[in-house]
Structure 1
């Protein structure tokens, strides 16, 4: 697994996206992190277990 010091967060950790990218394919819109999480340009992610993390979409703020 991770050979970095300090070690990268695991795929199950809430800070999973702080792991070091080991492969990047910007032309395809994804990167593979050291913890085997695939991160997509739209902020979604795919965990090694096969579980997907939906893209982060902030709620619009209503005009006052």
Structure 2
């Protein structure tokens, strides 16, 4: 999918989120990267092969009182 040089990391590499942004829809909570990955605001991802990456943002951090 990537047409520029240097090419973005493929969707199946660990650094896939470093790909260039193609479309952004913050009002809907998602963005499309040039490697075909759809990234959601909760940090979940949908891969072009249909695979899913569960959200990986820490949500249970406690603050000191």
TM-score by length of 1: 0.86
Gaps of 5+ in 1: none
Contact 2:37 2:47 in 1 (8 A): yes
CA-based RMSD of the aligned residues comes to 1.7
Superposed displacement of residue 4, structure 1:
2.1
1:13-55 Cα shifts (integer Å, max 9, x gaps): 1000000010111100000000000000000000001111000
| Residues 28-43 of structure 1 aligned to structure 2 (within 5 Å) | 28-43=28-43
Contact 2:24 2:32 in 1 (8 A): yes
SS of the equivalent of 1:32 reads strand
Gaps of 5+ in 2: none
| Residues 1-64 of structure 1 aligned to structure 2 (within 5 Å) | 1-58=1-58, 60=61
TM-score by length of 2: 0.85
* Number of matched pairs: 63
Structure 1 residue ranges, 4+ long, deviating more than 2 angstroms after superposition? 57-61
